[in-house]
């Protein structure tokens, strides 16, 4: 039965580990809880710098989820004026616990979908998405993982989506793409002829009147969209 109804591709960050909130937004919330004073605009600048530093770290390709969150926290705090005064462990704990709660909730959905669809992840990541999915007990749901850090192209480049489909050996079956980033996930997937599910707050306006196919406010709503 597995795969009879088609293929479902998932983004990772903000889609499988949170209901539509980016890593920088969730990291900033944890930083503020820990006593951080910088506004989001300043924090986001430091976060981008940490993203650039992260890809250059030796051994990144084998780093698991918790270790990666810890490393990213260290890199962000190093770029902030109040970073040294804060307890990094508290920030990491909060971010990690929130992500894990959403992931545990989503496992039921993934287990159900796996009965009728082939599932894959298409993510702009740092080459270590495999180890992260293993650590989070998510790998068993997916038949393919397209990690930009390994493939060498990033969304919205259609080649990353095609890489996932080729890994699955997908031919003409229906394909859905599920993601929280309109320009990286939804628009390119639609241009490849996929159906699209956009995970975003109801107040977020679609930049394209004809897209997405469906909107979701939590990932679990996907169960109502995709027949089992």
Quote the least distance from Cβ 35 to Mg ion, whole Å.
28
* x/- letters, 140..179, toward Mg ion (CB under 5 A): ----------------------------------------
Q: How many CB atoms lie within 10 A of CB 16?
A: 27
CB of 185 vs Mg ion, minimal distance in Å: 7
Does 19 bind Mg ion (CB under 5 A)? Our answer is: no
* Residue 14 or 131 having the CB closest to Mg ion: 14
Complex with Mg ion: residue 14 or 36, whichever CB lies closer:
14
Q: What would the 3-class secondary structure string for 105-144 be?
A: HHHHHHHHHCCCCEEEEEECCCCCHHHHHHHCCCHHHCCE
**Shortest Cβ contact with Mg ion: which residue?**
14
- What's 81's DSSP letter? T
CB of 14 to Mg ion, least distance (A): 4
9 forms beta bridges with: 120, 177
Distance, CA of 108 to CA of 114 (rounded, Å):
10
Map the footprint of Mg ion across residues 172-191, applying CB under 5 A. Answer: 180-181
User: Which of 11/70 has CB closer to Mg ion?
Assistant: 11
Secondary structure letter of residue 180 according to DSSP: S
Q: CA–CA distance from 107 to each of 36, 112, 113, 141 (Å)?
A: 33, 9, 10, 9
If the CB atoms of residues 181 and 195 are measured against Mg ion, the closer one turns out to be 181
Q: Which of 13, 36, 83, 212 binds Mg ion (CB under 5 A)?
A: 13
Quote the least distance from Cβ 179 to Mg ion, whole Å. 6
Does 70 sit near Mg ion (CB under 5 A)?
A: no
- Asked if 11 interacts with Mg ion (CB under 5 A), we say yes
**Of 117 and 198, CB closest to Mg ion:** 198
Structure tokens at 81: 């004026």
Q: Nearest approach, Cβ of 159 to Mg ion (angstroms)? A: 18
Of 86 and 100, nearer to Mg ion (C-beta) is: 100
- Exposed / middle / buried, residue 183 (Cβ in 10 Å: 0-12, 13-18, 19+): exposed
Query: Edge-to-edge strand order for the sheet containing 195-199?
Result: 144-147, 118-123, 7-10, 175-179, 195-199, 214-216
Total residues interacting with Mg ion, rule: CB under 5 A: 5
State whether residue 176 is helix, strand or coil: strand
Residues at the site binding Mg ion, with contacts judged by CB under 5 A: 11, 13-14, 180-181
């Amino acid at each position: 039965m597995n795969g009879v109804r088609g293929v479902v591709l998932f983004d990772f960050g903000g889609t499988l580990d949170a209901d539509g909130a980016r890593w920088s937004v969730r990291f900033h919330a944890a930083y503020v809880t820990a006593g951080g004073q910088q506004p989001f605009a300043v924090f986001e600048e430091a976060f981008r710098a940490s993203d650039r530093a992260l890809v250059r770290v030796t051994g990144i390709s084998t780093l698991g989820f918790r270790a990666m969150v810890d490393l990213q926290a260290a890199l962000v705090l190093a770029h902030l004026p109040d970073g040294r005064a804060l307890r990094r462990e508290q920030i990491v704990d909060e971010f990690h616990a929130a992500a894990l709660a959403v992931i545990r909730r989503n496992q039921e959905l993934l287990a159900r979908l796996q009965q009728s669809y082939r599932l894959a992840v298409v993510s702009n990541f740092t080459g270590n998405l495999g180890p992260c999915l293993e650590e989070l007990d998510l790998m068993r749901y997916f038949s393919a993982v397209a990690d930009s850090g390994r493939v060498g192209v990033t969304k919205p480049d259609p080649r990353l989506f095609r890489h996932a489909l080729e890994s699955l050996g997908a031919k003409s079956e229906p394909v859905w793409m599920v993601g929280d980033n309109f320009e990286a996930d939804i628009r390119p997937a639609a241009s490849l002829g996929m159906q699209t599910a956009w995970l975003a707050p109801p107040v977020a306006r679609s930049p394209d009147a004809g897209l997405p196919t469906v909107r979701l406010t939590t990932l679990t709503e996907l169960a109502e969209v995709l027949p089992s």
